[in-house]
Amino acid sequence: MNLELIHAELIRIREALEARPFASGAPAAKPASPRSDEVPLPTEIIVDAGNVQVHFGKNKGVALSSLGERSVAWYAQEPEPRIGNNGKPFPPRPEDVLLRNAARTIIHQKRGTLPSAAVPTAPVANIDEGNVPF
């Protein structure tokens, strides 16, 4: 291909983009980012959620219980999906899911909004009342 053909194609692309309805100079409306108080319920309740450590970024190696509420709420949010070369999103990594569920568990425990069936409790021992030594 010669440069004139490439240039002509670029001009057609620019014209097509400018003809789109939101190309009036104003940026396209972005979806509203979720507020920090709109934290989804965890998909799995993490029993010792405060001891789960962040595995990336500036808080790498820090337990969630050592972070402020705002940081924990950030880790609880659903991230933008990472898209592969084939256009399909990568599945979430297990450590990302664990961190997200731990952060969500902490937030909903503090709010008291975990479903009662999902609240982790200590296992109840089966006691044979006929063999109590007293």
Dihedrals φ, ψ of 83, to 5°?
A: -100, 130
**Model confidence pTM above 0.85:** no
**pLDDT, average across residues 105-132:** 68
**Distance separating alpha carbons of residues 65 and 76, to the nearest angstrom:** 13
Q: Quick check: 103 and 65 in contact, CB under 8 A?
A: no
Listed by start position, the domains of the chain span 33-115
Q: Quick check: 50 and 106 in contact, CB under 8 A?
A: yes
Confidence of residue 36 (pLDDT cuts 50, 70, 90): very low
Nearest partner of 74 among 64, 83, 61, judged by Cα? 64
Amino acid in position 120: P
**pLDDT, average across residues 77-103:** 91
